[in-house]
Chain A
Amino acid sequence: MKLIGMIQDVLSSMFKKTATISYPLKPSPPPERYHGRLDYNAAKCTGCMMCTRDCPAETIQIKVIDRKTKQFVMTYNIGECVYCKQCVFNCKFDALHMTNLMWESASDSKEGFQLYFGKKEHIDSLLKQKNEEPTA
Protein backbone atom coordinates (compact mmCIF):
# COMPACT_ATOMS: atom_id res chain seq x y z
CA MET A 1 0.00 0.00 0.00
CA LYS A 2 2.96 2.28 0.55
CA LEU A 3 3.81 2.17 -3.11
CA ILE A 4 0.56 3.88 -4.03
CA GLY A 5 0.61 6.59 -1.45
CA MET A 6 -2.79 8.18 -1.79
CA ILE A 7 -4.86 5.04 -2.01
CA GLN A 8 -5.84 5.16 1.63
CA ASP A 9 -7.22 8.68 1.40
CA VAL A 10 -8.92 7.93 -1.85
CA LEU A 11 -10.72 4.85 -0.63
CA SER A 12 -11.72 6.27 2.72
CA SER A 13 -13.06 9.43 1.14
CA MET A 14 -15.79 7.34 -0.49
CA PHE A 15 -17.32 6.96 2.94
CA LYS A 16 -16.67 10.48 4.08
CA LYS A 17 -18.59 13.64 3.56
CA THR A 18 -17.21 15.83 0.82
CA ALA A 19 -15.06 18.71 1.88
CA THR A 20 -17.11 20.99 -0.34
CA ILE A 21 -19.31 23.47 1.47
CA SER A 22 -22.57 23.94 -0.39
CA TYR A 23 -22.21 27.61 0.18
CA PRO A 24 -25.38 29.49 -0.61
CA LEU A 25 -27.50 26.74 0.87
CA LYS A 26 -25.39 26.44 3.98
CA PRO A 27 -24.24 29.89 5.03
CA SER A 28 -20.89 29.92 6.74
CA PRO A 29 -20.81 32.66 9.35
CA PRO A 30 -17.69 34.82 9.45
CA PRO A 31 -15.37 34.44 12.44
CA GLU A 32 -15.54 36.95 15.21
CA ARG A 33 -12.39 38.82 14.29
CA TYR A 34 -13.21 38.93 10.62
CA HIS A 35 -12.60 42.26 8.97
CA GLY A 36 -15.87 43.31 7.50
CA ARG A 37 -17.79 46.55 7.28
CA LEU A 38 -16.75 49.47 9.47
CA ASP A 39 -18.99 50.76 12.19
CA TYR A 40 -18.98 54.41 13.10
CA ASN A 41 -20.04 56.05 16.29
CA ALA A 42 -20.63 59.75 15.69
CA ALA A 43 -21.09 60.45 19.37
CA LYS A 44 -17.45 59.63 20.08
CA CYS A 45 -15.94 61.17 17.00
CA THR A 46 -14.10 64.48 17.33
CA GLY A 47 -13.50 65.09 13.67
CA CYS A 48 -9.72 64.85 14.05
CA MET A 49 -9.37 63.20 10.63
CA MET A 50 -6.66 60.84 11.78
CA CYS A 51 -8.53 57.95 10.24
CA THR A 52 -8.52 59.48 6.78
CA ARG A 53 -4.81 60.16 6.74
CA ASP A 54 -3.46 56.66 6.72
CA CYS A 55 -6.18 54.81 4.88
CA PRO A 56 -4.29 52.97 2.15
CA ALA A 57 -7.30 52.93 -0.12
CA GLU A 58 -8.10 56.56 0.64
CA THR A 59 -11.73 55.69 0.84
CA ILE A 60 -12.83 56.80 4.28
CA GLN A 61 -14.07 60.38 4.58
CA ILE A 62 -15.51 62.37 7.43
CA LYS A 63 -17.66 65.40 6.67
CA VAL A 64 -17.85 67.77 9.59
CA ILE A 65 -21.21 69.44 9.77
CA ASP A 66 -20.99 70.70 13.29
CA ARG A 67 -18.17 69.74 15.55
CA LYS A 68 -19.79 70.93 18.75
CA THR A 69 -22.99 68.98 18.49
CA LYS A 70 -21.15 65.99 17.02
CA GLN A 71 -22.79 66.19 13.64
CA PHE A 72 -20.64 64.18 11.28
CA VAL A 73 -21.22 62.16 8.18
CA MET A 74 -18.85 59.32 7.61
CA THR A 75 -18.75 57.92 4.10
CA TYR A 76 -16.74 55.06 2.83
CA ASN A 77 -16.86 52.59 0.04
CA ILE A 78 -16.72 48.95 1.01
CA GLY A 79 -15.72 48.11 -2.53
CA GLU A 80 -12.57 50.21 -2.22
CA CYS A 81 -11.76 49.37 1.36
CA VAL A 82 -9.05 46.78 1.75
CA TYR A 83 -10.17 45.88 5.28
CA CYS A 84 -6.83 46.58 6.84
CA LYS A 85 -8.24 48.02 10.06
CA GLN A 86 -5.70 50.82 10.06
CA CYS A 87 -8.39 53.46 10.52
CA VAL A 88 -9.59 51.74 13.68
CA PHE A 89 -6.09 51.85 15.12
CA ASN A 90 -5.64 55.45 14.08
CA CYS A 91 -8.79 56.60 15.82
CA LYS A 92 -7.81 57.58 19.33
CA PHE A 93 -11.40 58.16 20.38
CA ASP A 94 -12.83 54.73 19.77
CA ALA A 95 -15.30 56.01 17.21
CA LEU A 96 -14.56 53.39 14.56
CA HIS A 97 -15.02 49.67 14.86
CA MET A 98 -14.63 46.79 12.52
CA THR A 99 -17.56 44.41 12.40
CA ASN A 100 -17.65 41.05 10.75
CA LEU A 101 -20.76 41.92 8.77
CA MET A 102 -21.37 42.35 5.09
CA TRP A 103 -18.65 40.21 3.71
CA GLU A 104 -20.85 38.82 0.97
CA SER A 105 -21.32 42.17 -0.66
CA ALA A 106 -22.20 42.38 -4.32
CA SER A 107 -23.42 45.25 -6.40
CA ASP A 108 -23.60 46.17 -10.03
CA SER A 109 -22.11 49.61 -9.60
CA LYS A 110 -19.56 51.33 -7.47
CA GLU A 111 -22.27 53.46 -5.89
CA GLY A 112 -23.85 50.35 -4.51
CA PHE A 113 -20.88 49.91 -2.20
CA GLN A 114 -20.95 53.46 -0.90
CA LEU A 115 -21.95 53.59 2.73
CA TYR A 116 -23.06 56.65 4.70
CA PHE A 117 -23.16 56.95 8.45
CA GLY A 118 -24.76 59.90 10.16
CA LYS A 119 -28.05 61.71 10.47
CA LYS A 120 -30.42 61.10 7.63
CA GLU A 121 -31.01 64.74 6.74
CA HIS A 122 -27.27 65.36 6.51
CA ILE A 123 -26.77 62.42 4.26
CA ASP A 124 -29.61 63.58 2.05
CA SER A 125 -28.24 67.07 1.78
CA LEU A 126 -24.80 65.62 1.03
CA LEU A 127 -26.21 63.43 -1.69
CA LYS A 128 -28.14 66.35 -3.13
CA GLN A 129 -24.99 68.41 -3.24
CA LYS A 130 -23.23 65.61 -4.99
CA ASN A 131 -25.95 65.23 -7.57
CA GLU A 132 -26.00 68.92 -8.31
CA GLU A 133 -22.26 69.16 -8.71
CA PRO A 134 -21.93 67.99 -12.33
CA THR A 135 -24.59 70.42 -13.52
CA ALA A 136 -23.12 73.36 -11.69
Chain B
Amino acid sequence: MTDNLIDSNKSQKYIVPIGPQHPALKEPGHFEFTVEGEIVVDASIRLGYVHRGVEKAAESRTWTQVLYLVERVCGICSHAHGTAFIQNAEALAGIEIPPRAKVIRAIAGEIERLHSHLLWLGVAAHEGGFDAMFMYSWRDREIVMDILENFFGNRVNYSVNIPGGVKEDITPEFAEQLRIKLDFLEKRLKHYLDVVNDDVTFRARTVNIGTLGKEEMTRLGATGPTARSAGITRDIRVDRPYSGFDIYPINMILDDHGDLNARFVVRLKECFESIRYIRDVLEKIPEGELSVKFPRKIPAGESMSSVEAPRGELFYFVRSNGTENPDRVKVRTASLCNWGTIVSAVAKGHKLADMPMILAGIDPCFSCNDRMVNIVGKEKNAQLWTWEQLRKYGINYHAMQEGFNVSDCGIEQLREEK
Protein backbone atom coordinates (compact mmCIF):
# COMPACT_ATOMS: atom_id res chain seq x y z
CA MET B 1 0.00 0.00 0.00
CA THR B 2 2.62 2.48 1.06
CA ASP B 3 4.77 1.44 -1.89
CA ASN B 4 2.21 2.96 -4.20
CA LEU B 5 2.08 6.16 -2.32
CA ILE B 6 5.71 6.82 -1.66
CA ASP B 7 8.18 5.51 -4.12
CA SER B 8 11.49 6.17 -2.52
CA ASN B 9 13.45 5.44 -5.67
CA LYS B 10 11.60 7.88 -7.80
CA SER B 11 11.85 11.39 -6.48
CA GLN B 12 8.45 12.94 -6.87
CA LYS B 13 8.21 16.04 -8.95
CA TYR B 14 6.58 18.90 -7.17
CA ILE B 15 5.47 21.46 -9.67
CA VAL B 16 4.28 24.91 -8.70
CA PRO B 17 2.29 26.39 -11.54
CA ILE B 18 2.22 30.11 -12.06
CA GLY B 19 -0.37 31.46 -14.43
CA PRO B 20 -2.20 31.90 -16.73
CA GLN B 21 -4.26 33.43 -13.95
CA HIS B 22 -2.05 34.36 -11.07
CA PRO B 23 -1.60 37.40 -8.88
CA ALA B 24 2.02 37.76 -9.92
CA LEU B 25 1.23 38.01 -13.58
CA LYS B 26 -1.34 40.46 -14.68
CA GLU B 27 -1.02 39.06 -18.13
CA PRO B 28 -1.55 35.49 -19.30
CA GLY B 29 1.45 33.22 -19.45
CA HIS B 30 1.97 29.85 -17.89
CA PHE B 31 5.06 28.78 -16.01
CA GLU B 32 5.78 25.54 -14.29
CA PHE B 33 8.47 25.49 -11.68
CA THR B 34 9.59 22.14 -10.43
CA VAL B 35 10.69 22.73 -6.88
CA GLU B 36 12.57 20.77 -4.28
CA GLY B 37 11.66 22.49 -1.08
CA GLU B 38 12.11 26.10 -2.00
CA ILE B 39 14.69 25.56 -4.72
CA VAL B 40 13.59 25.61 -8.32
CA VAL B 41 15.16 22.73 -10.20
CA ASP B 42 13.36 23.06 -13.47
CA ALA B 43 11.31 25.62 -15.28
CA SER B 44 9.13 25.56 -18.32
CA ILE B 45 7.03 28.15 -20.03
CA ARG B 46 3.93 28.14 -22.17
CA LEU B 47 2.86 31.18 -24.07
CA GLY B 48 0.23 31.89 -26.63
CA TYR B 49 -2.82 32.74 -24.57
CA VAL B 50 -3.26 36.11 -26.20
CA HIS B 51 -2.40 35.23 -29.74
CA ARG B 52 -4.55 37.54 -31.81
CA GLY B 53 -3.35 36.95 -35.32
CA VAL B 54 -2.13 40.49 -35.78
CA GLU B 55 0.31 39.55 -38.55
CA LYS B 56 -2.43 37.89 -40.56
CA ALA B 57 -4.88 40.70 -39.89
CA ALA B 58 -2.34 43.17 -41.23
CA GLU B 59 -2.52 41.60 -44.66
CA SER B 60 -6.09 42.64 -45.22
CA ARG B 61 -5.71 46.27 -44.21
CA THR B 62 -4.34 49.32 -45.91
CA TRP B 63 -0.88 50.56 -44.98
CA THR B 64 -2.33 53.31 -42.84
CA GLN B 65 -4.68 51.00 -41.04
CA VAL B 66 -1.87 48.56 -40.31
CA LEU B 67 0.05 51.36 -38.64
CA TYR B 68 -2.71 51.62 -36.06
CA LEU B 69 -3.10 47.88 -35.84
CA VAL B 70 0.53 47.18 -34.99
CA GLU B 71 0.49 49.99 -32.48
CA ARG B 72 -1.87 47.77 -30.56
CA VAL B 73 0.42 44.75 -30.49
CA CYS B 74 1.72 46.07 -27.20
CA GLY B 75 0.12 48.64 -25.00
CA ILE B 76 3.35 49.86 -23.51
CA CYS B 77 5.67 50.22 -26.45
CA SER B 78 3.03 51.24 -28.94
CA HIS B 79 5.17 53.99 -30.43
CA ALA B 80 8.07 51.63 -31.03
CA HIS B 81 5.82 49.22 -32.93
CA GLY B 82 4.33 51.97 -35.02
CA THR B 83 7.73 53.45 -35.80
CA ALA B 84 9.29 50.14 -36.74
CA PHE B 85 6.47 49.35 -39.11
CA ILE B 86 6.14 52.73 -40.73
CA GLN B 87 9.89 53.00 -41.28
CA ASN B 88 9.61 49.92 -43.46
CA ALA B 89 6.68 51.34 -45.35
CA GLU B 90 8.48 54.61 -45.90
CA ALA B 91 11.62 52.86 -47.03
CA LEU B 92 9.63 50.81 -49.52
CA ALA B 93 7.84 53.89 -50.81
CA GLY B 94 11.14 55.69 -51.09
CA ILE B 95 10.12 58.52 -48.80
CA GLU B 96 12.45 60.48 -46.60
CA ILE B 97 10.53 62.06 -43.76
CA PRO B 98 11.38 65.62 -42.73
CA PRO B 99 14.03 66.00 -40.00
CA ARG B 100 11.59 67.67 -37.64
CA ALA B 101 9.32 64.64 -37.85
CA LYS B 102 12.28 62.36 -37.22
CA VAL B 103 13.25 64.20 -34.10
CA ILE B 104 9.71 64.30 -32.76
CA ARG B 105 9.52 60.55 -33.27
CA ALA B 106 12.71 60.14 -31.30
CA ILE B 107 11.40 62.34 -28.49
CA ALA B 108 8.16 60.39 -28.36
CA GLY B 109 10.18 57.20 -28.21
CA GLU B 110 12.19 58.47 -25.28
CA ILE B 111 9.09 59.63 -23.41
CA GLU B 112 7.69 56.19 -23.99
CA ARG B 113 10.86 54.67 -22.60
CA LEU B 114 10.49 56.79 -19.48
CA HIS B 115 6.95 55.63 -18.96
CA SER B 116 7.77 52.02 -19.65
CA HIS B 117 10.75 51.95 -17.31
CA LEU B 118 8.81 53.63 -14.52
CA LEU B 119 6.02 51.14 -14.97
CA TRP B 120 8.50 48.32 -14.86
CA LEU B 121 10.21 49.71 -11.78
CA GLY B 122 6.90 49.61 -9.96
CA VAL B 123 5.96 46.16 -11.15
CA ALA B 124 9.33 44.66 -10.35
CA ALA B 125 9.33 46.19 -6.88
CA HIS B 126 5.81 44.90 -6.33
CA GLU B 127 6.87 41.40 -7.32
CA GLY B 128 9.44 41.59 -4.59
CA GLY B 129 6.83 42.76 -2.11
CA PHE B 130 8.07 46.34 -1.98
CA ASP B 131 4.78 48.10 -2.35
CA ALA B 132 5.90 51.56 -1.31
CA MET B 133 8.22 51.76 -4.30
CA PHE B 134 5.43 50.42 -6.50
CA MET B 135 3.00 53.11 -5.44
CA TYR B 136 5.47 55.96 -5.63
CA SER B 137 6.93 55.05 -8.98
CA TRP B 138 3.48 54.69 -10.46
CA ARG B 139 2.45 57.97 -9.01
CA ASP B 140 5.39 59.58 -10.78
CA ARG B 141 4.70 57.66 -13.95
CA GLU B 142 1.43 59.53 -14.04
CA ILE B 143 3.45 62.64 -14.91
CA VAL B 144 4.78 60.94 -18.01
CA MET B 145 1.30 59.79 -18.88
CA ASP B 146 0.10 63.36 -18.56
CA ILE B 147 2.86 64.52 -20.86
CA LEU B 148 1.78 61.99 -23.44
CA GLU B 149 -1.85 62.94 -23.03
CA ASN B 150 -1.13 66.64 -23.35
CA PHE B 151 1.11 66.32 -26.37
CA PHE B 152 -0.23 63.49 -28.40
CA GLY B 153 -3.82 63.30 -27.29
CA ASN B 154 -3.92 59.79 -25.88
CA ARG B 155 -2.46 58.10 -22.87
CA VAL B 156 -1.63 54.69 -24.20
CA ASN B 157 -1.88 54.33 -27.97
CA TYR B 158 -0.82 57.85 -28.67
CA SER B 159 -0.34 57.36 -32.42
CA VAL B 160 2.34 59.98 -32.88
CA ASN B 161 3.15 58.62 -36.30
CA ILE B 162 1.32 59.16 -39.47
CA PRO B 163 2.58 57.62 -42.70
CA GLY B 164 5.18 60.07 -43.86
CA GLY B 165 5.76 61.97 -40.66
CA VAL B 166 4.18 62.79 -37.33
CA LYS B 167 0.83 64.21 -36.34
CA GLU B 168 1.47 66.75 -33.67
CA ASP B 169 4.07 69.43 -33.35
CA ILE B 170 6.07 70.20 -30.23
CA THR B 171 5.50 73.90 -29.79
CA PRO B 172 7.74 76.10 -27.59
CA GLU B 173 5.05 76.22 -24.87
CA PHE B 174 4.91 72.46 -24.79
CA ALA B 175 8.67 72.27 -24.70
CA GLU B 176 8.64 74.53 -21.67
CA GLN B 177 6.01 72.37 -19.92
CA LEU B 178 7.99 69.28 -20.78
CA ARG B 179 11.17 70.69 -19.26
CA ILE B 180 9.47 71.51 -15.97
CA LYS B 181 8.00 68.04 -15.72
CA LEU B 182 11.28 66.40 -16.65
CA ASP B 183 13.08 68.32 -13.92
CA PHE B 184 10.74 66.93 -11.31
CA LEU B 185 10.96 63.46 -12.78
CA GLU B 186 14.73 63.53 -12.75
CA LYS B 187 14.73 64.37 -9.07
CA ARG B 188 12.43 61.47 -8.31
CA LEU B 189 14.40 59.07 -10.46
CA LYS B 190 17.60 60.02 -8.67
CA HIS B 191 15.87 59.13 -5.46
CA TYR B 192 14.79 55.74 -6.80
CA LEU B 193 18.30 55.05 -7.97
CA ASP B 194 19.50 55.73 -4.45
CA VAL B 195 16.91 53.37 -3.04
CA VAL B 196 17.87 50.66 -5.49
CA ASN B 197 21.53 51.11 -4.66
CA ASP B 198 21.32 51.53 -0.92
CA ASP B 199 18.20 50.01 0.64
CA VAL B 200 19.25 46.99 2.67
CA THR B 201 16.23 44.79 2.28
CA PHE B 202 15.89 45.67 -1.36
CA ARG B 203 19.51 44.85 -2.02
CA ALA B 204 19.08 41.57 -0.19
CA ARG B 205 16.49 40.64 -2.77
CA THR B 206 18.29 41.85 -5.89
CA VAL B 207 22.05 41.67 -5.58
CA ASN B 208 23.50 38.46 -7.01
CA ILE B 209 20.07 37.18 -7.87
CA GLY B 210 19.44 35.98 -11.37
CA THR B 211 23.01 36.60 -12.45
CA LEU B 212 23.91 35.71 -16.00
CA GLY B 213 27.32 36.35 -17.49
CA LYS B 214 28.13 38.09 -20.71
CA GLU B 215 28.85 34.90 -22.68
CA GLU B 216 25.67 33.18 -21.58
CA MET B 217 23.62 36.26 -22.38
CA THR B 218 25.16 36.52 -25.82
CA ARG B 219 24.57 32.84 -26.48
CA LEU B 220 20.92 33.08 -25.50
CA GLY B 221 20.42 36.18 -27.60
CA ALA B 222 19.30 38.65 -24.99
CA THR B 223 18.50 42.16 -26.09
CA GLY B 224 17.77 45.51 -24.59
CA PRO B 225 18.42 46.48 -20.99
CA THR B 226 18.64 42.82 -20.03
CA ALA B 227 21.63 42.38 -22.29
CA ARG B 228 23.15 45.74 -21.40
CA SER B 229 22.98 44.87 -17.72
CA ALA B 230 25.51 42.14 -18.43
CA GLY B 231 27.80 44.41 -20.37
CA ILE B 232 26.76 43.49 -23.90
CA THR B 233 27.02 46.54 -26.12
CA ARG B 234 23.77 46.15 -27.96
CA ASP B 235 21.52 49.12 -28.53
CA ILE B 236 19.87 49.75 -31.85
CA ARG B 237 19.77 53.48 -31.19
CA VAL B 238 23.55 53.47 -31.20
CA ASP B 239 24.40 50.55 -33.47
CA ARG B 240 22.03 51.35 -36.30
CA PRO B 241 20.64 54.79 -35.51
CA TYR B 242 17.20 55.30 -36.96
CA SER B 243 14.88 58.28 -37.10
CA GLY B 244 16.21 61.10 -34.97
CA PHE B 245 19.07 59.20 -33.43
CA ASP B 246 21.07 59.61 -36.61
CA ILE B 247 20.75 63.38 -36.25
CA TYR B 248 21.39 63.60 -32.53
CA PRO B 249 23.09 60.53 -31.08
CA ILE B 250 22.25 59.00 -27.73
CA ASN B 251 24.57 57.26 -25.32
CA MET B 252 24.44 53.61 -24.37
CA ILE B 253 24.10 52.66 -20.72
CA LEU B 254 26.01 49.62 -19.57
CA ASP B 255 26.53 47.71 -16.39
CA ASP B 256 28.57 44.58 -15.97
CA HIS B 257 27.06 42.76 -13.02
CA GLY B 258 24.35 40.97 -14.92
CA ASP B 259 22.20 40.45 -11.86
CA LEU B 260 18.78 41.75 -10.97
CA ASN B 261 20.17 44.84 -9.34
CA ALA B 262 22.10 45.69 -12.48
CA ARG B 263 18.87 45.52 -14.45
CA PHE B 264 17.32 48.04 -12.10
CA VAL B 265 20.34 50.29 -12.35
CA VAL B 266 20.58 50.10 -16.13
CA ARG B 267 16.94 50.92 -16.62
CA LEU B 268 17.01 53.81 -14.20
CA LYS B 269 20.16 55.22 -15.74
CA GLU B 270 18.58 54.86 -19.13
CA CYS B 271 15.80 57.08 -17.86
CA PHE B 272 18.36 59.77 -17.03
CA GLU B 273 19.85 59.42 -20.47
CA SER B 274 16.40 59.76 -22.00
CA ILE B 275 15.73 62.87 -19.98
CA ARG B 276 19.05 64.35 -20.99
CA TYR B 277 18.38 63.49 -24.61
CA ILE B 278 14.93 65.05 -24.64
CA ARG B 279 16.26 68.19 -22.96
CA ASP B 280 19.12 68.55 -25.41
CA VAL B 281 17.02 67.89 -28.44
CA LEU B 282 14.22 70.25 -27.41
CA GLU B 283 16.75 73.06 -27.75
CA LYS B 284 17.52 72.30 -31.34
CA ILE B 285 14.56 70.70 -33.04
CA PRO B 286 15.09 71.35 -36.73
CA GLU B 287 12.48 73.55 -38.34
CA GLY B 288 10.39 72.30 -41.16
CA GLU B 289 7.41 70.31 -42.24
CA LEU B 290 5.84 67.67 -40.04
CA SER B 291 4.94 65.21 -42.73
CA VAL B 292 5.25 64.51 -46.41
CA LYS B 293 2.76 62.92 -48.72
CA PHE B 294 2.48 59.18 -48.50
CA PRO B 295 1.28 57.19 -51.51
CA ARG B 296 -1.65 54.82 -51.17
CA LYS B 297 0.12 52.09 -53.13
CA ILE B 298 3.63 51.06 -52.31
CA PRO B 299 5.96 49.51 -54.90
CA ALA B 300 6.72 45.84 -54.47
CA GLY B 301 9.69 44.96 -52.36
CA GLU B 302 10.91 43.80 -49.02
CA SER B 303 12.18 45.77 -46.11
CA MET B 304 13.41 45.26 -42.58
CA SER B 305 13.82 47.65 -39.73
CA SER B 306 14.66 47.52 -36.06
CA VAL B 307 13.79 49.91 -33.31
CA GLU B 308 15.07 49.96 -29.77
CA ALA B 309 11.86 49.46 -27.84
CA PRO B 310 12.03 49.87 -24.05
CA ARG B 311 12.46 46.11 -23.75
CA GLY B 312 15.05 45.65 -26.45
CA GLU B 313 15.28 45.22 -30.15
CA LEU B 314 11.97 45.28 -31.95
CA PHE B 315 12.19 43.95 -35.45
CA TYR B 316 9.75 44.29 -38.34
CA PHE B 317 9.87 42.66 -41.72
CA VAL B 318 7.47 43.91 -44.36
CA ARG B 319 6.87 42.73 -47.90
CA SER B 320 4.83 44.68 -50.35
CA ASN B 321 3.37 43.42 -53.60
CA GLY B 322 2.53 46.78 -55.04
CA THR B 323 -1.00 47.06 -53.73
CA GLU B 324 -2.68 49.06 -51.02
CA ASN B 325 -2.11 46.31 -48.48
CA PRO B 326 1.11 44.83 -47.19
CA ASP B 327 1.74 41.30 -48.39
CA ARG B 328 3.42 40.09 -45.22
CA VAL B 329 4.23 41.67 -41.90
CA LYS B 330 6.49 39.85 -39.50
CA VAL B 331 7.02 41.06 -35.97
CA ARG B 332 9.74 39.90 -33.65
CA THR B 333 9.54 41.39 -30.23
CA ALA B 334 12.13 41.87 -27.55
CA SER B 335 10.43 39.92 -24.78
CA LEU B 336 10.53 36.78 -26.83
CA CYS B 337 14.30 37.04 -27.24
CA ASN B 338 14.77 37.47 -23.54
CA TRP B 339 12.73 34.53 -22.29
CA GLY B 340 15.56 32.15 -22.99
CA THR B 341 17.75 33.84 -20.44
CA ILE B 342 15.27 33.00 -17.71
CA VAL B 343 13.76 29.69 -18.55
CA SER B 344 16.85 27.91 -19.73
CA ALA B 345 19.50 29.58 -17.64
CA VAL B 346 18.64 31.70 -14.66
CA ALA B 347 15.70 29.93 -13.07
CA LYS B 348 17.42 26.73 -12.03
CA GLY B 349 18.93 26.83 -8.60
CA HIS B 350 17.10 29.90 -7.42
CA LYS B 351 14.54 30.07 -4.68
CA LEU B 352 10.89 30.02 -5.58
CA ALA B 353 10.54 33.34 -3.82
CA ASP B 354 12.92 34.94 -6.28
CA MET B 355 11.06 33.76 -9.34
CA PRO B 356 8.54 36.60 -9.64
CA MET B 357 11.29 39.19 -9.46
CA ILE B 358 13.49 37.30 -11.90
CA LEU B 359 10.57 36.94 -14.27
CA ALA B 360 9.84 40.62 -13.97
CA GLY B 361 13.54 41.36 -14.39
CA ILE B 362 13.45 41.07 -18.16
CA ASP B 363 10.34 43.22 -18.27
CA PRO B 364 8.23 40.62 -20.00
CA CYS B 365 5.34 41.72 -22.10
CA PHE B 366 2.97 38.92 -22.84
CA SER B 367 1.06 40.37 -25.71
CA CYS B 368 4.42 40.91 -27.34
CA ASN B 369 5.26 37.29 -26.76
CA ASP B 370 2.59 35.62 -28.70
CA ARG B 371 4.37 35.40 -31.98
CA MET B 372 5.01 32.21 -33.86
CA VAL B 373 8.47 30.78 -33.43
CA ASN B 374 10.19 28.18 -35.56
CA ILE B 375 12.59 26.23 -33.49
CA VAL B 376 15.28 24.92 -35.78
CA GLY B 377 17.48 22.66 -33.78
CA LYS B 378 19.65 19.64 -34.16
CA GLU B 379 16.98 17.41 -32.72
CA LYS B 380 14.35 16.46 -35.19
CA ASN B 381 11.35 16.85 -32.91
CA ALA B 382 10.76 20.32 -34.23
CA GLN B 383 9.16 20.27 -37.66
CA LEU B 384 7.94 22.70 -40.21
CA TRP B 385 4.55 21.85 -41.60
CA THR B 386 3.03 23.20 -44.71
CA TRP B 387 -0.62 24.08 -44.80
CA GLU B 388 -1.36 20.99 -46.92
CA GLN B 389 0.42 18.65 -44.54
CA LEU B 390 -1.37 20.18 -41.62
CA ARG B 391 -4.71 19.75 -43.34
CA LYS B 392 -3.99 16.12 -44.20
CA TYR B 393 -2.88 15.42 -40.67
CA GLY B 394 -6.04 17.00 -39.32
CA ILE B 395 -8.28 14.96 -41.60
CA ASN B 396 -6.48 11.75 -40.78
CA TYR B 397 -6.56 12.45 -37.10
CA HIS B 398 -10.27 13.12 -36.97
CA ALA B 399 -11.03 10.23 -39.27
CA MET B 400 -9.14 7.96 -36.95
CA GLN B 401 -11.04 9.31 -33.99
CA GLU B 402 -14.32 8.66 -35.74
CA GLY B 403 -13.09 5.26 -36.81
CA PHE B 404 -13.30 5.20 -40.59
CA ASN B 405 -10.73 4.69 -43.25
CA VAL B 406 -9.63 7.80 -45.06
CA SER B 407 -8.98 6.14 -48.38
CA ASP B 408 -12.63 5.09 -48.54
CA CYS B 409 -14.04 8.54 -48.84
CA GLY B 410 -11.62 9.77 -51.43
CA ILE B 411 -10.29 12.60 -49.44
CA GLU B 412 -6.95 12.13 -51.10
CA GLN B 413 -8.52 12.88 -54.44
CA LEU B 414 -10.39 15.77 -53.03
CA ARG B 415 -7.13 17.21 -51.95
CA GLU B 416 -5.48 16.66 -55.26
CA GLU B 417 -8.36 18.16 -57.17
CA LYS B 418 -8.12 21.30 -55.18
Identify the interface centre among A31, A82, A84, A98: most chain B CB within 10 Å of its CB. Answer: A84
Number of interface residues of A (CB under 8 A): 25
Interface presence of B202 (CB below 8 A): yes
Q: Check if A85 sits within 8 Å of B133, measured CB to CB.
A: no
Q: Check if B154 sits within 8 Å of A83, measured CB to CB.
A: yes
Q: Check if B136 sits within 8 Å of A54, measured CB to CB.
A: no
Given known pairs A5-B199, A9-B136, the reply for A33 and B153 (CB within 8 Å) is yes
Q: Check if A5 sits within 8 Å of B195, measured CB to CB.
A: yes
Q: Check if A6 sits within 8 Å of B136, measured CB to CB.
A: yes
- Bits for A1-33, please: 1 = Cβ < 8 Å to B, else 0: 011111001100000000100000000001111
- Bits for B72-87, please: 1 = Cβ < 8 Å to A, else 0: 1000000000000000
Question: Could you say which residues of chain A place their CB within 8 Å of the CB of B208?
Answer: none
Given known pairs A2-B194, A6-B199, the reply for A35 and B154 (CB within 8 Å) is yes
Q: Check if A89 sits within 8 Å of B194, measured CB to CB.
A: no
Q: Check if A54 sits within 8 Å of B199, measured CB to CB.
A: no
Q: Which chain B residues numbered 181 to 229 have a C-beta less than 8 Å away from chain A? A: 191, 194-196, 198-202
- Bits for B27-44, please: 1 = Cβ < 8 Å to A, else 0: 000000000000000000
Q: Which chain B residues numbered 142 to 156 have a C-beta less than 8 Å away from chain A? A: 142, 146, 149-154
Identify the interface centre among B146, B153, B168, B196: most chain A CB within 10 Å of its CB. Answer: B153
Q: Check if B152 sits within 8 Å of A33, measured CB to CB.
A: yes
Chain B residue with the shortest CB-CB distance to A1 = B198
Interface presence of B61 (CB below 8 A): yes
Interface presence of A53 (CB below 8 A): yes
Compute the total of residue contacts between A and B using a CB distance below 8 Å: 70
Given known pairs A6-B133, A31-B149, A33-B152, the reply for A86 and B64 (CB within 8 Å) is yes
Chain A residue with the shortest CB-CB distance to B200 = A3
Q: Check if B61 sits within 8 Å of A6, measured CB to CB.
A: no
Quick one: which of A33, A53, A86, A89 contacts B151, CB cutoff 8 A? Answer: A33
Q: Check if B62 sits within 8 Å of A2, measured CB to CB.
A: no
Quick one: which of A30, A53, A84 contacts B68, CB cutoff 8 A? Answer: A84
The A interface is mostly helix, strand or loop, or mixed, namely loop
Q: How far is the CA of A82 from the CA of B139 in the complex (A)?
A: 26
**A-contacting residues of B (Cβ < 8 Å)?**
61-62, 64-65, 67-69, 72, 132-133, 136, 139, 142, 146, 149-154, 157, 159, 162, 167-168, 191, 194-196, 198-202
8 shortest interchain CB distances as A-B pairs: A5-B195, A5-B199, A56-B68, A35-B153, A54-B64, A56-B65, A31-B150, A2-B198
**B-contacting residues of A (Cβ < 8 Å)?**
2-6, 9-10, 19, 30-35, 53-56, 82-86, 89, 98
Between-chain CB contacts (< 8 Å), 11 pairs:
A6-B136, A6-B195, A31-B149, A31-B150, A33-B152, A33-B168, A54-B62, A55-B65, A56-B67, A86-B64, A86-B162
